[in-house]
Structure 1
Amino acid sequence: MDGGLEIRGGIGGITCQLEELVGGAEKLDALAEELVDVEAELQRIQNGLGPYQFSQTPAWTEAVSTMTRSRTGVQVVRTELQAIGSQVLASKRYYENAEAWAGIARGLGGGLTSTETMMRQAGDLGLGFVPNREVTELVAGPLAMAALLAVSRERFFIALGVDLAAGRHIAAAVPLLTGVLGRSTRNLQPRPVTVDQKESLPIEFDGSPAALLERARIIGQRGEGYVEVIEVDNAGQKAYVVVIPGTQAGGDLGGANPFDEAGITEGLGHRSVEVNAAVLEALRAAGAEKGAPVVAVGYSQGGIHAMNLAADELFLNDYDVKYVLTAGSPVGGIVPAAGVSSLHLEHRQDWVPGTDGTPNPDARQRVTVTLTGPVTTPGGGEFGIGPGHRLSNYTGGARLVAESDDPSLVASTAVLAGVLGAGGTATATRFALARTPAETASAPGPRLQPTQRPLPQKPEADRQVTSGKMQG
């Protein structure tokens, strides 16, 4: 805990601490191996004293005695080091087993029926009549597995086996379930996405987590289906930020807008295959060279797509995803490529991050921050899907993250700053993405439309464009 922030993972997380235990045990073993060599050398020297046994009896006796005591002392130290190393590794196994059993017990209902969980939920219901993240996460898993069993027994056992092998609780079947449901409805099937380049304009940009989420607000208000690519100059090296909005409801389900409710199915059930391809085209059109560093940012559904970019081999063949920032997104089941750092913001009252039924992993390069401060719907504002899911809350939480001196957060934000630099004037290019109609879904992947010549723009002071509907 750090004030109103509950922090999981990173260099201060349990997994990292267990890795440190392993590293310590390996160093102890290495020292013990060195002492084995010392023992062998002492024995060699002692053996070399043999020819002097009769010519220098007093000196020989003292020398042999000294060498024997030395070798025995080294052997005692080596044995102690090896014993300590074994105990350290054993303690790691005990910790891992305890974590695994606690997770399984929690997932099978122990967490849902605990007094502490119910008291927190009761308090949160007074702030907004929706389940909180914790309860949603605990309920979603068993429900998903039950539905998967009803759809296909074979897929149920596959999901259960995958989950148990991964050491997570059975709620990790949600992505498989959404995949089944996605294939059963034509409008929910992924379809190629066209990419239409729109305006390009200079912006003032500081590269902080709060500034990144503010860009998510701006591109979400630009219109339906828009993404933004920001080109940043970091000490002469170009870096790029991809900003993806949240769910834009209100249109035809599975229609032209790739970020409607059907986009959630593509993200969780199909790894954002078409959105990823469209983002790849947008980066190329924005002038990003192959191998350029990329930061992916997403709010709600957008966070699912952002994380999927970091796990997509085809995308990673062209660009180097360094960092992912998500807010209010269910991304616990998405595993990014090695070397990708990520920061996930969740709110205790926000049920959306819990809909995948599995907590975000505790890993060295993956930090999850749960905002615990109570929030309510502003006077005159719409309740929407609950006050905890409001993007403005997450932007405020991102400022708290930047101000925190927690080791995990300091390390995570340092990685982000290393990619984007200190900020300044950057170039933002907007792209309109659109799904191809269902009747032409067999057409090839994303196509870049002829670039429209942008009107002259002055530096943006974060103008608000009110077209489009946002629901997060």
Structure 2
Amino acid sequence: MAEATPPDAGGAPRVSAPPPDGSLRIRGGIGGIRFQFEELLAGATALDGLVRELQAVEVEADAVKHALGPFQSDSYASGSNAIIAVGEAGRDVGRVRAQLQRIGDDVRASHREYEYAEARNALLMRLGFQGAGYGAAPEPFALPGVRGAVEGWIAGMPGHLTALLGVPAPLAAVLGALNGPADVRRLVRDATEAPGLAFLKPRPVKIVDRETISADVDLSPAGLLRRAGDVGAQGGRIEVIEVEGARRPAWVVIIPGTQLDGPPDGTNPFDPAGVAEALGYDSSATSAAIREALRQAGASAGDQLVAVGYSQGGIHAMNLSRDRAVLAPYDLEFVLTAGSPVGGITPEQGVRSLHLEHEQDWVPGADGAANADTRDRVTVTLTNPLALPAPQDFGLGPGHRLANYADGAALVAASPDATLRDSTAALAAVVGTGGAATVTRFSLRREPRPGREPDHGPARPSGRVREGSWPRGTPG
């Protein structure tokens, strides 16, 4: 049975946004626009190679035609036919070469037009101009929720500040766009210099205790995020899991979200001051503690590494992806985050990542930057409706609940979407799907401020404890 011809066959190459997968909206990866841009250029380069080969064939055909000339008199009819045949073949090759060259030019023109449209729309949005008249209106399914509104407000902070100084609104928007989006890293560092906020500056983080067990571990995206919730149930802890990697030993670092059960200037490295360290100082102190935890757990140079983080923990996890002190000894393969503002963090080339956000979660937009749309970076926005929790359970909002992200991660793993299958397969290729593993949970403490007494938390046993469960009172 003959294959149906696509309705737009023969037309100009077109880039298309991936369709939503139920309640999942997908950006980046092999279905992302940026990767399609790269594919357009790769296709044009391949066509250039064919054009060069055909040019060589044309030259050779012309040389053969001229070489046959002296022999035409030996047999006029056959000699003439041979010369004509070679000449026509050369002209046919020339026509194919010209057509391929034209197609390559069209592909490059399409790439330029899409790049221009993307840059134009980004500028218009930064200026606050949206709508059909500007050609920059988002698709109906992509209307920004709380997350998009917060990201836009923070990104446009320079313009907002200009307006507060009395500059007319249109001019303030233009000046804000010319200044670019807000530099959240610089803003955080500046804030730590303000009177009364010095406690936000990083202080050394040390390991004060550890405990190790053997347990069955679910290494799916949903299972890993649920472990982040378990780790966060007790303050100041991270988890390092040793797994049998598909190619060589692999380790998973689980980093919890922000913990609000202590003073803002306390010794829990994941208190609100930890957000400042993560956003403003590249997680310098926490990353050092994670490196020491890996060493104590038994990780060796060249081992594979996966970092998983929820909320604040996701910022720390992504900062590992550009930390030379981590990337030099270990092969960081994958980062998984949920509800984390990590758009301003650019990982080193080759580090793959999967980010879960909810359109009604303001936290992922708190750095004023959207995650990059690249081949190795996939962002999944959850759009499922949310129930309003009781006031005492509201926390940072219903969109930020870890249980919702774990459910979304299960949908990601079950999705037939090619981009998501490629991303989850990359994670599984490092850690597998689960089974028996060695789990070490580390207690971390930030150095107390001068004049404060250190708080090491409850006393915990060190070394290996009985297999299959955590000591009483510790979630597993």
> Alignment partner of 1:227: what SS?
strand
Number of matched pairs: 436
1: CA distance, partners of 2:310 / 2:190: 25
Q: Which moved more, 1:131-140 or 1:292-301?
A: 131-140
User: Which of the residues 85, 89, 98 maps onto 2:117?
Assistant: 98
> What SS does structure 1 have at the residue aligned with 2:276?
helix
User: Is the Cα–Cα contact under 8 Å of residues 29 and 377 in structure 2 kept in the other structure?
Assistant: yes
DSSP-derived class of the 1:8 partner: strand
Provide the residue aligned with 2:443 in structure 1: 432
1:135-284 equivalent positions in 2, closer than 5 A: 135-143=149-157, 170-171=180-181, 173-184=183-194, 185-221=197-233, 223-235=234-246, 237-284=248-295
SS of 1:234's equivalent? coil
**Over residues 398-433 of structure 1, what are the superposed CA-to-partner deviations in whole Å (9 max), with x where a residue is unaligned?**
111111111111100000110011310111111111
| Equivalent residue, structure 2, for 1:157 | none
Give the fraction of aligned pairs with identical amino acids, expressed as a percent: 46
Q: TM-score, normalised by structure 1?
A: 0.85
Q: 1:36 to 1:285 in 2, by over 3 A?
A: same
In 1, Cα distance between equivalents of 2:315 and 2:157: 21
Contact kept? 2:206, 2:289, Cα under 8 Å: yes
RMSD of Structure 2 on Structure 1 (CA)? 3.2
Give the TM-score taking structure 2 as reference length. Answer: 0.84
Counterpart residue number, 1:406? 417
Match of 1:34 in 2: 53
Query: Residues 146, 313 of structure 1: CA spacing in aligned structure 2 closer, same or farther, 3 A cutoff?
Result: farther
Q: Is the 8 A contact 2:359 2:383 kept in 1?
A: yes
Matched residue SS, 1:110:
coil
Deviation string 1:340-389 (CA, Å, 9 cap, x unpaired) is: 11111111111000111111111111111111111123458511121111
CA distance in 2, matches of 1:6, 1:173: 27
The answer to whether the 8 Å contact 1:171/1:356 transfers is no
Any conservation in 2 of the 1:204–1:460 contact (CA below 8 Å)? Answer: no
Name structure 2 gaps, 5 residues minimum.
1-19, 166-173, 453-459
Change (3 A) 1:111 1:247: farther
Task: Write the deviation string for residues 16-68 of structure 1: whole angstroms up to 9, x where unpaired.
Answer: 11121112111111111110110111122122123224433333322222222
Q: Matches of 2:262 and 2:106 in 1, distance apart?
A: 60
Contact 1:232/1:427 (8 A) holds in 2: yes
Cα distance in 2 between the residues matched to 1:420 and 1:22: 34
> Structure 1, unaligned stretches of length 5 or more?
125-130, 152-159, 442-450, 467-472
Relative to structure 2, which stretch is displaced further, 138-147 or 257-266?
Answer: 138-147
Higher helix fraction (1 or 2): 1
Counterpart-to-counterpart distance in 1, 2:271 and 2:298:
28
Pick from 301, 310, 316 the counterpart of residue 299 of structure 1: 310
Alignment of 1:42-191 (within 5 A): 42-110=61-129, 132-143=146-157, 170-171=180-181, 173-184=183-194, 185-191=197-203
Contact 1:112 1:135 in 2 (8 A): no
> Equivalent residue for 2:35?
16
Task: String of CA shifts for 1:215-271, please: whole Å, max 9, x gaps.
Answer: 1011101x2211110111135732100011111124232331111111111111111
Higher mean C-alpha deviation, range 63-72 or range 339-348: 63-72
Letter in 2 for 1:139: W
The correspondence for 2:466, drawn from 452, 457, 461, is 457
Counterpart in 1 of 2:170? none
Q: What is the CA–CA distance in structure 1 between the aligned matches of 2:280 and 2:240, rounded to whole Å? A: 25
Partner AA of 1:293 in structure 2: Q
2:246·2:430 contact (CA, 8 Å) conserved in 1? no
Alpha-carbon contact 2:352-2:376 (below 8 Å) kept: yes
- Structure 2 CA distance for aligned equivalents of residues 111 and 240 of structure 1: 45
Q: Report how far residue 111 of structure 1 moved.
A: 5.2
Is the 8 Å Cα contact of residues 218 and 462 (structure 1) preserved in structure 2? no
